[in-house]
């Protein structure tokens, strides 16, 4: 039992350490998915979008290497399951995109802002967490489970083992699984890298390039930590188990559900069945990493709501993000980096839906 506890501790503290770096680097480089979309929509500036896409490319390559070598089994992750709940992914993604635009940033950006002194973002995260918890286990969850999730496609019925683009390519072409994985990885990664580095200004922006590589690398490290280091035999059941995660399978960075689990742990602290997990630790780590950056650069500033209208928009946006993030099984990081790194078809659907929702809301805000 002691070795099991130690293994869980390795996963939790390892996730916390990775999140400290994530929070510090994301703050330093102004990494923000909503900001990247806003830059493109409002100013036709692609710098931060290219940074996001480079982080995705790095995460895809590294995660595929882990899968190819057998270091982790991504088919056991929540992203590659053959059941594709397309309606949940699309609706959840669109609502998350709308919500993050109303709230002025996604879950990750609000965690970073809390570290920088934003009381406004703290309130946003509380309401996001409540909405997410309601979608996991409460009233919203009933709607999700009964109305949205049943509208799905079982890809195994079409002969695909998972919804990975590698497995789909292999099923369509007859290529061996590992060969198809390499080919799918090469196609997606090279397309992203070609687009990212064709811009001369981005090639000269060393800060954004290094930041993207580090953030993408942290996603890879998260997979290895939970899917390899944290995967061992449970001495109680003698079954192979993933230790230290909420989903009881391998995970990497995602923030919507973990924010809800942070609230659950605080409210039910005396419940001995609850433990600090990888997800909980990473959410806290991002805040402290951002705080470290703010203090080191003397940029820490207390921030509140500008007006009642600002409060209203932030809270509505937070609720939409909580519902949308759980329904779509991830946020701009949970699906837009972690999920996409597995080449899961559903993650690409969700990412495009988030972009569509955010873009549509930005256009609506500009209508006057």
The residues near 13 (Cβ < 8 Å, ≥ 6 apart) are 281
pLDDT of residue 127: 98
Percentage above 70 pLDDT, the chain: 98
The model's confidence at residue 289, banded by pLDDT at 50, 70 and 90, is very high
- Model confidence over 152-194: pLDDT tens digits? 999 999 999 999 999 999 999 999 999 999 999 999 999 999 9
Q: Give start and end residues of each alpha helix (H) in the chain.
A: 2-29, 33-38, 47-69, 86-102, 107-115, 119-137, 139-143, 165-173, 177-197, 200-203, 206-224, 256-267, 278-296, 308-327, 340-341, 345-365
How many structural domains does the chain have?
1
- Average confidence (pLDDT) over 214-236: 95
The residues near 210 (Cβ < 8 Å, ≥ 6 apart) are none
Question: Is the pLDDT assigned to residue 233 strictly greater than 90?
Answer: no
The model's confidence at residue 366, banded by pLDDT at 50, 70 and 90, is confident
pLDDT of residue 184: 98
Residue 209 contacts residue 196 (beta carbons within 8 Å): no
Question: Is the pLDDT assigned to residue 235 strictly greater than 90?
Answer: no
Question: Is the pLDDT assigned to residue 368 strictly greater than 80?
Answer: no
The model's confidence at residue 234, banded by pLDDT at 50, 70 and 90, is confident
Beta-sheet pairing, 240-242 with 83-84: unpaired
- Model confidence over 8-19: pLDDT tens digits? 999 999 999 999
| Residue 157 to residue 182: CA distance in whole angstroms | 24
Question: Is the pLDDT assigned to residue 3 strictly greater than 80?
Answer: no
**How does the average pLDDT of the chain come out, rounded?**
95
| Residue 115 to residue 300: CA distance in whole angstroms | 8
Pairwise pLDDT comparison (367 vs 230), residue with the higher score: 230
| Residue 51 to residue 63: CA distance in whole angstroms | 18
The single-letter DSSP state of residue 303 is B
Question: Is the pLDDT assigned to residue 197 strictly greater than 90?
Answer: yes
Domain that residue 97 falls in: 2-365
Question: Is the pLDDT assigned to residue 237 strictly greater than 50?
Answer: yes
pLDDT of residue 327: 98
pTM for the model: 0.96
Beta-sheet pairing, 83-84 with 153-154: antiparallel
Percentage above 90 pLDDT, the chain: 94
- Model confidence over 329-358: pLDDT tens digits? 999 999 999 999 999 999 999 999 999 999
pLDDT of residue 367: 81
What region does 244 belong to: left with phi over 0, alpha with psi -120 to 50, or beta?
left
- Average confidence (pLDDT) over 245-262: 96
Q: Burial level of 283, CB count in 10 A (0-12/13-18/19+)?
A: buried
| Residue 63 to residue 77: CA distance in whole angstroms | 12
pLDDT of residue 284: 98
Distances (CA, A) of 178 to 43, 81, 157, 279: 42, 18, 21, 30
């Amino acid at each position: 039992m002691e070795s099991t506890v130690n293994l869980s501790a390795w996963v939790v503290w390892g996730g916390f350490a990775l999140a400290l770096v994530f929070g510090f680097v994301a703050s330093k480089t102004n990494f923000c998915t909503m900001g990247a979309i806003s830059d493109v929509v409002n100013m036709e500036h692609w710098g931060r979008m290219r940074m996001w896409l480079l982080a995705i490319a790095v995460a895809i390559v590294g995660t595929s290497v882990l899968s190819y070598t057998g270091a982790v089994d991504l088919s056991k992750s929540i992203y590659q399951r053959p059941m594709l709940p397309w309606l949940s992914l699309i609706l959840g993604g669109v609502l998350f995109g709308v919500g993050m635009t109303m709230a002025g940033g996604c879950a990750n950006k609000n965690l970073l802002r809390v570290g920088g002194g934003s009381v406004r973002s703290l309130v946003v995260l509380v309401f996001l967490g409540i909405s997410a918890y309601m979608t996991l286990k409460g009233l919203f969850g009933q709607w999700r489970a009964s109305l949205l999730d049943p509208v799905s496609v079982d890809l195994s019925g079409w002969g695909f083992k998972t919804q990975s683009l590698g497995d789909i390519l292999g099923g369509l072409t007859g290529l061996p699984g590992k060969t198809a994985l390499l080919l799918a990885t090469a196609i997606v990664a090279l397309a992203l890298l070609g687009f990212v580095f064709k811009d001369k200004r981005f090639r000269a922006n060393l800060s954004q390039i290094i930041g993207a590589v580090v953030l993408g690398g942290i996603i890879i490290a998260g997979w290895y930590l939970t899917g390899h280091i944290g995967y061992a035999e449970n001495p109680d059941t003698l079954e192979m188990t993933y230790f230290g995660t909420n989903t009881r399978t391998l995970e990497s960075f995602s923030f919507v559900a973990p924010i809800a689990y942070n609230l659950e742990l605080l409210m039910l602290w005396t419940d001995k069945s609850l433990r600090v997990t990888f997800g909980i630790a990473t959410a806290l780590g991002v805040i402290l990493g951002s705080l470290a950056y703010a203090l080191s650069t003397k940029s820490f500033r207390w921030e509140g709501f500008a007006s009642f209208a600002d409060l209203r928009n932030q809270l509505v946006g937070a609720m939409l993000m909580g519902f949308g993030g759980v329904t779509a099984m991830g946020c701009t990081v949970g699906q837009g980096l972690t999920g996409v790194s597995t080449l899961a078809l559903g993650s690409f659907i969700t990412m495009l839906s988030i972009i569509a929702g955010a873009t549509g809301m930005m256009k609506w805000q500009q209508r006057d």
